[in-house]
Amino acid sequence: MKRLIAAAIIVASLGATACTTAVVVRPHRAGLVLVNGVWVVPPRVGAIWIAPHWERRGFHRVWIEGYWRY
């Protein structure tokens, strides 16, 4: 009888722990560009976002902010 009760408890606990998670991701709208983690509309057609980066200028490194290239 103890084994039957133990088996019933195990079966009941397995059924209770069987959880599922659904992740819904919708695609971004056409024409948007990802800029610093945010989807934005480019200022004009054909514009390309250049991400911020470090550049070498002589013996120094300079931080270049992100900008739109037309």
Total domain count, the chain: 1
Q: What value does the CA radius of gyration of the chain take, rounded to a whole number of Å?
A: 27
Buried (b) or exposed (e) across 18-50, using 16+ Cβ within 10 A? eeeeeeeeeeeeeeeeeeeeeeeeeeeeeeeee
Q: How confident is the model at residue 17 (pLDDT cuts 50, 70, 90)?
A: low
Domain extent for 55: 2-69
Q: How confident is the model at residue 65 (pLDDT cuts 50, 70, 90)?
A: very high
Whole-prediction pTM value? 0.51
